[in-house]
Amino acid sequence: MADTITYDVVIIGGGPGGYNAAIRAGQLGLKAACVEKRVTLGGTCLNVGCMPSKALLHASEMFAAASGEFAHLGIEVQPKLNLPQMMKQKGESVTALTKGIEFLFKKNKVDWVKGAGRIAGAGKVEVTGEDGKVTTLEAKNIVIATGSEPSSLPGVAVDQQRILDSTGALSLAEVPKHLVVIGAGIIGLELGSVWRRLGAKVTVVEFLDRITPGMDAELAKTFQRALTKQGMTFQLGAKVTGAKTSKKGVTLTWEPVAGGASQEIEADYVLLAIGRRPYTEGLGLETVGVTPDKRGFIETDHLQTSTPGVWAIGDVTYGPMLAHKAEEDAVACIEMIAGKYAHIDYNLVPSVVYTSPEVAWVGKTEEQLKAEGRAYKAGKFPFTANSRAKINHETEGFVKVLADAATDEILGAHMVGPQVSEMIGEYCVAMAFRAASEDVARTCHPHPTRSEALRQAAMGVEGWTMQA
Ligand code: FAD
Ligand code: NAI
């Protein structure tokens, strides 16, 4: 007979959405279970996403610096790539992080129920463990946090040997001679950068006539120029029509979106990175009358599905597919379940691309403001005029601030440059407090720092930029 355990809340999925929800529930004194079928907690982000990709981005950036910039700084070294060690340290960091979530579960009295969860009617989740044993969990509230998986492309079958998705591209045993990336989005450009820095020729094939859709167009142009300078090649406006694999590699066929003859590219590896889709396989949504939309997303209103007591957070529902957005959803969802007030401003969820230079933004792009017919002023400051960037020889890029023409409220901040991932938070806080660009412009920043560029860009809104 199956065991039955009763909880206040059962969360399905142990990624940034699920684990943050479970921990917050524990903190608020709710009896919580988190169902996760992977052998480790942390979901896509910790296991095969944010963290391993950042580990390889960091290590490959060091390798590239040792191979090039170091000599200019008067440090002469002859770096030799030890790929197995690079992968090993990545794995060790990932293990430490996933164990950290296990520790936090114990600390907050959250039960990790290992196995695949399936909703089996109102307030009921059945968990099938690896040994086939079924445990039934009962709870007034079920939170779906099952995340997403890579989107597929007809004719390009991922085999993780020659045709990879992001998971395969994070654990290659050799540096590709020629890596072809399908999709000039965040995964393609981050992982393309890793392998380019380690010596691969990298060609990016993109359907649209620009890279990174959704990013402010001026930022995207500067970003593409920087990547091109690093040796990445772009084939924009290209529709991939098929891929043929052999033992040695892949022949990819594509045709211009605008029309024209079909063409071929030879590669030893192909990375398919054309987006991610929500993951709800075998979840039993039909048992509670929840129907995903056409693209597979679970529709929610303030994170509640159409069925009372069933909630959805993170990648499986609407909004940007980002770990920190999943975390925002998680905390708000549990606080609402606990009867508290919760609020999320999705306009203030920042985005970052962790390449070199980095790209970061929050709020509206110029294109969005124009489409909305909103009058705005822009202030811009290049890193070539920032003293810290200059002495560090990292002068590529700029900071741009967009402010309402009448009220001066900051509507968006966009930056491409050195370590801007660590700087965007300042604009998130300013915008959360509905600051005017003048508030940032009149706030003293330490000198010499790259963060002075944030202030100078804000000063630029009223035309009184000073540094040069
Ligand atoms: P997931 O993290 O996908 O977690 C869902 C979990 O649910 C999984 O562990 C899955 O095994 C489990 N699950 C699914 N169904 C069931 C079931 N029926 N029963 C039990 N368990 C189940 N975001 C960032 O913000 N910053 C980054 O730098 C970043 N880098 C990324 C790099 C890569 C290569 C990728 C692929 C993604 C990256 N992301 C990044 C996106 C980020 O990983 C996701 O937005 C985030 O993981 C979403 O969290 P989630 O909890 O909604 O889902
Ligand atoms: P993406 O949505 O960022 O980019 C996909 C790209 O593929 C787009 O440029 C799109 O136009 C293109 N494309 C779509 N179909 C195509 C086709 N048939 N042929 C050629 N190009 C095609 O998706 P990506 O890069 O797969 O990443 C998925 C998500 O993972 C991101 O949207 C982001 O939410 C998350 N992520 C976040 C990271 C971060 O925050 N630093 C890092 C990596 C992933």
Measured distance CA(164)–CA(155) in Å, rounded = 14
Q: Is the CB of 237 under 6 A from ligand 2?
A: no
Asked if residues 117 and 203 have their Cβ atoms less than 8 Å apart, the reply is no
- Confidence band (pLDDT; 50, 70, 90) for 3? confident
Is 59 contained in some domain? no
What is the DSSP track for 69-101?
HHHHTT--------HHHHHHHHHHHHHHHHHHH
Asked if residues 428 and 348 have their Cβ atoms less than 8 Å apart, the reply is yes
* Burial of 400 per CB tally in 10 Å (0-12, 13-18, 19+): buried
- Confidence band (pLDDT; 50, 70, 90) for 466? confident
Name the percent of the chain in helix, strand, coil, to the closest 5.
Answer: 35, 25, 40
CATH of the domain at 16: 3.50.50.60
Q: Among 39, 40, 44, name the best residue to mutate to test ligand 1's pocket (greatest count of ligand atoms within 8 A of Cβ).
A: 44
Q: pLDDT tens for residues 45-63?
A: 999 999 999 999 999 999 9
Is residue 467's pLDDT more than 90? no
Residues 25 and 45 in one domain: yes
Q: Which H or E run contains 144? A: strand 134-144
Distance of CA 27 to the CA centre of its chain: 27
Q: What is the dihedral of CA 451, 452, 457, 461, to 10 degrees?
A: 130
- Confidence band (pLDDT; 50, 70, 90) for 1? very low
Q: Which H or E run contains 370? A: helix 366-372
Rounded mean pLDDT of 148-152?
98
Q: Is the CB of 326 under 6 A from ligand 2?
A: no
Q: pLDDT tens for residues 300-320?
A: 999 999 999 999 999 999 999
CA distances from 307 to 13, 123, 143, 311, 330 (A): 19, 11, 12, 8, 18
Is residue 217's pLDDT more than 80? yes
Rounded mean pLDDT of 369-378?
98
Nearest residue by C-alpha to atom 41 in ligand 2: 353
Asked if residues 415 and 436 have their Cβ atoms less than 8 Å apart, the reply is no
At residue 468, the pLDDT reads: 59
Q: Which domain holds residue 173?
A: 163-274
Q: Report CA(273)–ligand 2 centroid distance (Å).
A: 6
Q: pLDDT tens for residues 92-124?
A: 999 999 999 999 999 999 999 999 999 999 999
Domain count, the chain: 3
Q: pLDDT tens for residues 386-398?
A: 999 999 999 999 9
CA distances from 397 to 37, 222, 223, 340, 386 (A): 43, 7, 8, 43, 11
Measured distance CA(172)–CA(269) in Å, rounded = 10
Residues 129 and 35 in one domain: yes
Q: pLDDT tens for residues 271-299?
A: 999 999 999 999 999 999 999 999 999 99
Q: pLDDT tens for residues 222-257?
A: 999 999 999 999 999 999 999 999 988 999 999 999
Is 64 contained in some domain? no
Is residue 365's pLDDT more than 70? yes
CA angle (39 as vertex; 34, 42 as ends), nearest 5: 55
At residue 162, the pLDDT reads: 98
Residues 194 and 208 in one domain: yes
Is 137 contained in some domain? yes
Among 347, 380, 406, residue at a domain's last position: 347
Measured distance CA(410)–CA(393) in Å, rounded = 30
Active centre residues (catalytic): 447
Residues 127 and 215 in one domain: no
Q: pLDDT tens for residues 335-362?
A: 999 999 999 999 999 999 999 999 999 9
Q: Is the CB of 184 under 6 A from ligand 2?
A: yes
Residues 174 and 137 in one domain: no
Is 297 contained in some domain? yes
Q: Report the chain's C-alpha Rg in angstroms.
A: 24
Among 254, 274, 294, residue at a domain's last position: 274
Nearest residue by C-alpha to atom 26 in ligand 2: 275
Q: What is the dihedral of CA 159, 164, 168, 173, to 10 degrees?
A: 90
Residues 340 and 363 in one domain: no
Is 199 contained in some domain? yes
Q: Tell me the percentage of the chain whose pLDDT exceeds 70.
A: 99
Residues 255 and 223 in one domain: yes
Rounded mean pLDDT of 56-83?
97
Is 154 contained in some domain? no
Ligand 2 atom nearest to 188, measured from its CA: 25
At residue 286, the pLDDT reads: 97
Measured distance CA(353)–CA(48) in Å, rounded = 16
Q: Is the CB of 183 under 6 A from ligand 2?
A: yes
Measured distance CA(305)–CA(143) in Å, rounded = 10
